[in-house]
Amino acid sequence: MNEAKKKHPGPLASARLFFTDRDKLEPAVITLMAALFSILMGVGLIFIVSKDPFTSTRNFLLGPLLRTYNFYYLLITIVPITFTGLALCIIYQLKYTSLIVDSSFYTGAIVATAIGVKLALPAGWHPAVAMVAAGLTGGLIGVLPAILKIKWRANELVSSLMFNYVFYFFGSFVILYFLRDRNQTILASMPFQKTFALPKLVENTQLHAGFIIAAVFVVLVSIFLFRTRWGYEIRITGANPKFAAYAGIPVASVAIYAHFVSGFIGGLGGAVEMSGLYRAFIWQMNPSYAWDGVIVAMLARKNPKFVPISAFFLAYLRVGADFMSRRGDVAFEFITLLQGIIILILASDKIANYFKARRLRRNALAAETALAARADVAAGGDVATGAGAQGGKA
C-alpha cells in the first residue's frame, strides 16, 4: 500500500510537488506571463487607437460574458481550435514543425461536405461516417511532409506550407465543379441533408455536440500520448531520435503514424465543424485554424490536458475582440497582433533559459559553498587530530 501511495501521490501531494518543482513551475509561469502581457498589450493598443478607450476595453475584456449569446459563441469558437491544438500537440511532442494540419482540417471539411450532400444516411450515422472518412483523408494528407523528410530530408515546415496551398485550391476546385449550388451568387456548396447535422446542446443556439466530441478527444489524446506504448515512442523519439533508434524504436515508423494520428484529428475536426455549425460549405477562404492551433499547443506546452484552458483563453480574446469591433472603433484585426506577441514570447528560448541559468548558478554556488564548508570542517578535524597525537608523544 505504501509503495502504491508513493507511486501515485494524491491531489494535494501532486499540487505541492508542482509548486515546489522549479522545472515544472517555470514553464507555467512563462506561459502565464505571456498571456497577461498580451492582454496588457491589447489594452495599451486600445488606449492608443480608440476614441473611447474605456468602453472599448470593457467590451474587449467583458464582452464574452456580457451576453448569453456571446458566451455560447465563445464555446463554439473553442471547438475547431481544440482539434487543431490537439493535433499539433502530437507533432510538437515529436519535435516536428509541420503545419499540414491546416490541409487536413480543410480537406476533411471538403470530404464531409461531399458526404453531407451526396449520401443519404440515417441521423447519427450520417455525421459519424463523415467524421471517419474525413479523419482518414486528413491522416493520409498528414503523413506527406513526414515522408518527404524521411526519404529526401525535405524541411517539413516548408513542404507543409506548400501542401496547404495545393489542398486549398484542390478543395475549392471540388466545390466549384462538383458540389456548387448554382442558385447561390457566392461560392457555396449545395445544402447538407438534414440527417447530416449534429444535435444542438442548447435550444435556440448554435452550440452543438461537437463541443462534447472535442472534450472526449482531449481525454483520448492525453491517454494516447502518456498512457500507451505509441505515445511513449513518440515522446522518446522527439526527445532524442538517436537514443530512440539505439533502443530499437523504429523512428521513421513513429514519425509516420504520429503524423497520421495528427492528421486524423485535424480531418475529423473539419467534419465536426461542417456538420455542427453549417448548413452548406460557404468558406470563401481557408479559415487557417492550424495557426490558432499553434498558439493553443504552445500555450498548453504540448500537453493535451491543458489544451482546453489555452483554447478557452484564445477563444476569449477572439470573441472579446469581435464584440469590441462591433461596438466600438477598434478593428478586429488587432487580435492578430496579440497572437503574434504570444507566439513571439513563447517561441523565445531566452526567457526560459534566463530563469534556468539563474537557478543553475544559484544551485552551483550553494553546492560550492557547502563543499567548501565541509572541506574546512575536515581540515579542522585533521589539525585537531594532529595536535592530539603530538600531545600524546610528549
206 Cβ contact list (under 8 Å, min separation 6)? 72, 73, 76, 200, 277
Q: Which one of 7-21, 29-43, 49-63, 368-382 scores highest in mean pLDDT?
A: 49-63
User: Using CA atoms in the order 100, 104, 109, 114, what is the torsion angle rounded to 10 degrees?
Assistant: 130
Grid cell digits, residue 105 = 482540417
Nearest CA-CA partner of 289 in 34, 91, 83, 131: 83
Please compute Rg for the chain using Cα positions. 27
Grid cell digits, residue 12 = 494535494
Computed over every residue of the chain, the mean pLDDT equals 87
What pLDDT is attached to residue 334? 83
Q: Classify 385 in phi/psi space as left (phi over 0), alpha (psi -120 to 50) or beta.
A: alpha
**Cβ distance 98 to 264 under 8 Å?**
no
Give the residue-averaged pLDDT of 309-331.
91
Q: Is 60 exceeded by the pLDDT of residue 20?
A: no
Secondary structure of residue 189 in the 3-state scheme: strand
Q: Which residue ranges make up each domain of the chain?
A: 69-305
H-type helices in 94-123, by residue range?
101-118
Helix (H) / strand (E) containing 338? helix 334-347
Nearest CA-CA partner of 130 in 273, 326, 334: 273
Compute the distance between CA of residue 332 and CA of residue 46 in angstroms, rounded to an integer: 11
Q: How confident is the model at residue 33 (pLDDT cuts 50, 70, 90)?
A: confident
Grid cell digits, residue 88 = 499539433
Percent pLDDT > 90 in the chain is 63
Q: Can you state the angle between helices 229-239 and 210-227, rounded to 10 degrees?
A: 70
What predicted TM-score, i.e. pTM, was given to this entire model?
Answer: 0.86
Compute the distance between CA of residue 202 and CA of residue 21 in angstroms, rounded to an integer: 42
Q: Is 50 exceeded by the pLDDT of residue 289?
A: yes
Residue 63 φ/ψ, nearest 5 degrees: -55, -45
Strand residues in the chain grouped as ranges (E): none
Bridge partners of 196, per DSSP, are none
Q: Provide the residue count of the chain.
A: 394
Q: Which residues of 16-54 are buried (b: 16+ CB within 10 A; e: fewer)?
A: eeeeeeeeeeeeeebbeebbeebbeebeebbeeebeebe
13 Cβ contact list (under 8 Å, min separation 6)? none
Compute the distance between CA of residue 132 and CA of residue 108 in angstroms, rounded to an integer: 9
What does 106-171 look like in DSSP terms, one character per residue? HHHHHHHHHHHHH----TTHHHHHHHHHHHHHHHHHHTHHHHHHHHH---HHHHHHHHHHHHHHHH
Give the residue-averaged pLDDT of 238-246.
94
End-to-end CA distance of the chain: 62
Compute the distance between CA of residue 315 and CA of residue 81 in angstroms, rounded to an integer: 8
Q: What is the pLDDT of residues 263-283, one digit of tens each?
A: 999 999 999 999 999 999 999
Q: Which residues of 185-196 are buried (b: 16+ CB within 10 A; e: fewer)?
A: eeebbbebbebb
CA distance readout (Å), 311 to 8, 75, 184, 316? 29, 10, 34, 8
Locus of grid cell 523519439: 237
Residue predicted with more confidence, 384 or 80: 80
Q: How confident is the model at residue 66 (pLDDT cuts 50, 70, 90)?
A: confident
